[in-house]
Structure 1
Amino acid sequence: METFDAIHGRRSIKQYDPNHRMPEEDLKKLLEAAMQSPTSFNIQHWRFVVIKDPELRKEIRANGNDQAQMTDASILIVMTGDMKAWEKEPARYWRDAPKEVAELLVNWMGPFHEGREQLQRDEAQRSIGMAMQTLMLAAKAMGYDSCPMIGFDHEKVAELIRLPKDHVMGPMVAIGKGTKEAWPKPGQLSMDEVVITDRF
């Protein structure tokens, strides 16, 4: 599928074939695509929690406003981010770069993040967002549908997946074979309203 077709064709699908099983090679391909997403300082904050246990998916659904896609889609991925990834062996993010570039960025990483808790959280969430969009577009290009979700009890789901204290919870994404098309787009804003040239 062409890139622009995937962008325009991606919709949030709610109904999925519960009998469809995604091949492991497709799941790997999707995750590898998501891992190509950009991150600040190449920190790669994202941590993709792939929920395979049917009972765990039922528990998540029970804490997710009974959204059927949480159990019926082929795959459910909880998007999380490591807020402290910047201080965990930062040299590994630049191991293949020229030495002078690696030293510059690794030495800058600490002072940039240290003591800035909100920035650390924001960067993790930004990274999650970019990876999630890549994941959904890759899914569409491969013939799958997807649905991003924030309508769940974040604290309870964090507990269910044993989210580490230094990680942040993002949305979750259901991916699978949709059984019902989305309704027409409900109302896109005009370009005149959302595009500002130079200043507001």
Structure 2
Amino acid sequence: MDVKQAIQSRRSIKHYDPTHQMTEAEIEELMSHAILSPTAFNIQHWRFVRVQDMEKRQQILEAAWGQAQVVESSLLLVLCADLNAWEKQPERYWQHAPKSAQEMILPAIENYYTNHHQGQRDECIRSASIAAMNIMLMAKAMGYDTCPMDGFDFDKVARIINLPHDHIIIMMITVGKKRQDAWPRPGQLALEDVFVTDTF
């Protein structure tokens, strides 16, 4: 399946075959492509929590107000981001770059993020959201369906996964084999309603 097909056929699926299991090799393939998504300054803020323990999944089901895909899907991911990744050994993110690039970028990271709390949060949300799309399109290419979720109690899920104090949850994604199609697309806005040139 090419990228165009994946984009056109990807839908948010709510009902999965609960008996289907993804192999470890499939999960590794999926996630190894998730981490190829771009991030500001190559900081790679995203952190992906795979919730495998069924007791934890049941707790998340309650926090997600009974949405069955939480327990029926083959893979449940909580997409998080480290707000302070920018200051945690940032040289790691540029270790293979030329020294001239390191000398330019590393001070720029510090200058941009120091005391810029809104910027830290915004970049985390942008970066994890881009990674989410990588996950969903790659899953579709592998023959799986997905659903991005923000319909849950973020604080409860944070406690369930023991989220560090300097991390935030961006969304959850379910991955699996659908057992029921999504509704027909409910109504796309016309391209000319959302795509403008130069100015509104």
TM-score (normalizing by structure 2): 0.99
Q: What's the RMSD between the two structures over aligned residues?
A: 0.5
Could you tell me how far apart the structure 2 residues matched to 1:145 and 1:58 are?
A: 21
CA shift for structure 1 position 69:
0.3
Aligned residue for 2:140?
140
Q: Quick one: which amino acid aligns to residue 39 of structure 1?
A: T
Q: Distance in 2 between matches of 1:135 and 1:181?
A: 20
- Specify the alignment match of 1:42 in structure 2: 42
> Which residue is equivalent to 2:53?
53
Aligned residue runs from structure 1 range 20-39, under 5 A: 20-39=20-39
Quote the sequence identity (%): 48
Q: CA offsets per residue over residues 135-161 of structure 1, 9 Å max, x none?
A: 000000000000000000000100110
Query: For residue 102 of structure 1, what is the aligned residue in structure 2?
Result: 102
Shift, 1:102, TM fit: 1.4
Query: For residue 112 of structure 1, what is the aligned residue in structure 2?
Result: 112
> Which letter does structure 2 place at the counterpart of 1:145?
D
Q: Distance in 2 between matches of 1:51 and 1:103?
A: 39
Where do 1:71-110 residues align within 5 Å?
71-110=71-110
| Runs of 5+ unmatched residues, structure 2 | none
Equivalent-residue separation in structure 2 for 1:168 and 1:125 (angstroms): 9
Q: Which amino acid aligns with 2:31?
A: L
CA deviation after TM superposition for structure 1 residue 183, in Å: 1.2
SS at match of 2:174: strand
Deviation beyond 6 Å, 4+ runs, structure 1: none
- Counterpart in the other structure of 1:66: 66
Distance in 2 (alpha carbons) for counterparts of 1:104 and 1:25: 38
Aligned to 2:190: 190
Q: Offset at 1:103?
A: 1.5
2:147 aligns to what SS in structure 1? strand
Q: Which runs of 5+ in 1 are unaligned?
A: none
Q: Measure, in 1, the Cα distance between the counterparts of 2:74 and 2:53.
A: 12
Q: Distance in 1 between matches of 2:129 and 2:155?
A: 19
Cα distance in 2 for partners of 1:180, 1:119 equals: 40
**What amino acid is the match of 1:125?**
I
The 2-side partners of 1:22 and 1:55 are apart by: 19
Match of 1:177 in 2: 177
Q: CA deviation at 1:131?
A: 0.2
Give, in whole Å, the separation in 2 of the partners of 1:12 and 1:184: 11
